[in-house]
Amino acid sequence: MVSDFSKIREIFENIGYYPFIRKKEGKIYLHLFKAKKPGKSRVIIPIALLVATILSVFYAGYSWAVPLKEMGFIDNIWVTSSIFMMGLIFILGSHELAHKITAMKNKVDASWPYFIPMPLFIIGTMGALITIKSPIPDKKAAIKIGLSGPLIGFIASVIVISIGIAISPVVPATEYMRAVETFNATHPGGITIGFGQTLIYRILLDLFLNLPEGYTLVTHPLVVAGIVGVFVTALNLLPMGQLDGGHVARSILGEKYHMLVSKTTALSLIGIGFLGSFLRYPIWPGWILWGFIGYLISSRGHPGAMDEVTELTGEDKILAVIGIIIFILCFTPTPLYVVP
């Protein structure tokens, strides 16, 4: 069916239509939609956003580096800020370029990555995205396009965290506590941000960190960049709407159950967020916002691939399972919290 549909697609696209085939009650239906010519992408916009994001992420790295410098745990603020910036841009860029390259391989028109600068935010960015400008040909391509970003972003995050652990200072716990107390005394009113430990972070700590008794790890900002990358991976793999996980869910489950899973996931996030208000465990309240956003994008549905009739192979289903495993490794109900 794939080769037959490729010919059907070519015929109709040549006369300005996108063909979508669907199976209902044992019958196959062909739906035609007028093809819109994708507008020309202005390269200057992605470049300008990238430059702005580099600057805002560098400033965020500077904010993470200043306390470490004042406490005597790093030597050079500018170098540390640059390392943080390069680590985070590497992760976000790898994620989006993986989508772009996979889309190109499957003859899907997609934009270059749009980075989103967020000055004065603790990480300096709200991430990055690409826009898909033409329909995805089939379910196999949808799974590959959907999973390529999280998979490569996950690998990039693991690399960044591993390097970050390697360059993080290891100091006596008493020395660390004295430095923190002195810093807090001279900077009253400040807050300390903590990050929840994901499974992958615990695994990497066990692999690369061997703390002598009485010593502690002073987390380098590069580790923070990697933790952010892991969080972004988990968010994108949520099976909602047209998120990366949504592409996979639509391909595996079909239209009806994709909608059900999308809305259930969104409502679950809202529930998790409110649950944190009643439990001692510090669950991130930000899940409430993400849940509402997820419900809105889920309500819009997912157009699906053009060919939703051809069955998926075992390889496609294995890729989906890999996506689930990565999500489990990356998800935590408390990605960040304010340390009392």
Q: Give the tens place of pLDDT for each residue, 221-234.
A: 999 999 999 999 99
Model pTM? 0.92
Short-list 192, 172, 297, 195, CA closest to 244: 297
Taking the C-alpha atoms of residue 94 and residue 96, their distance in angstroms, rounded to an integer, is: 6
- Residues 19-25, mean pLDDT to the nearest whole number: 87
Sign of the C-alpha dihedral computed for residues 255, 256, 257 and 261 taken in this order: positive
Burial 285-309 (b: 16+ CB within 10 A, else e): eebbebbeebbebbeeebebbbbbb
Residue 168 makes CB contacts below 8 A (sequence gap 6+) with 217, 218, 219, 220, 223
Confidence of residue 2 (pLDDT cuts 50, 70, 90): very low
**Which percentage of the chain shows pLDDT scores above 90?**
70
Burial class (CB in 10 A: 0-12, 13-18, 19+), 270: middle
Tell me the three state secondary structure of residue 250. Answer: helix
Number of H helices, E strands in the chain: 10, 8
